[in-house]
């Protein structure tokens, strides 16, 4: 465990079982983890599904937190919250889900192992990640050198709607 907390960004999404309530409950649960200090939470956004369109729209948000947990321990904590919400992991990567919590960035670390890829592999192609991320961290530069603000301005918003 490091003595200096790591700044991490978490993407949240849900499109089943009262998605708004699911995302709000997940934010609450994350704030209750002892080794985590939630710094900022983006607005909530309503977005179209990324994969099959025969599913409901998503509620998405991004939060910034500081943690003394390792990236894998943070992943374990987030997956416990997903499981508690009723998340079922399926083969269909882009299917509907009760709750999806993704570690987008973990400090300046680049991680690529069977359980975790950081930066998150889809961070630069997803308006429902880039827009809320740019909202809470407009000056953030990704490990590859790209500006989150510029990326968010250049991506199509796909009819995404800011809710709050």
Q: Which residues are catalytic?
A: 87, 97, 100, 102
* 109 phi and psi angles, rounded to 5 deg: -70, 145
* 92 phi and psi angles, rounded to 5 deg: -75, 100
147 class by beta-carbon count within 10 Å (0-12 exposed, 13-18 middle, 19+ buried) = middle
Nearest to 153 by CA among 136, 138, 142: 138
């Amino acid at each position: 465990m490091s003595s200096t907390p790591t700044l991490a960004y978490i993407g949240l999404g849900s499109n089943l079982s009262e998605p708004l309530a699911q995302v709000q409950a997940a934010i609450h649960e994350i704030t209750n983890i002892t080794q985590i200090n939630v710094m900022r939470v983006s607005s909530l956004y309503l977005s179209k599904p990324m994969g099959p369109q025969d599913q409901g729209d998503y509620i998405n948000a991004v939060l910034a937190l500081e943690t003394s947990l390792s990236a894998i321990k943070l992943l374990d904590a987030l997956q416990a919250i997903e499981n508690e919400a009723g998340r079922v992991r399926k083969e269909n990567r882009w299917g509907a889900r009760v709750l999806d919590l993704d570690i987008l960035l973990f400090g300046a670390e680049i991680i690529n192992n069977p359980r975790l890829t950081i930066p998150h592999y889809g961070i630069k192609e997803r308006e429902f990640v880039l827009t809320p991320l740019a909202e809470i961290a407009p000056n953030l530069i990704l490990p590859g050198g790209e500006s989150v603000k510029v990326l968010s301005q250049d991506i199509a918003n796909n009819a995404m709607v800011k809710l709050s």
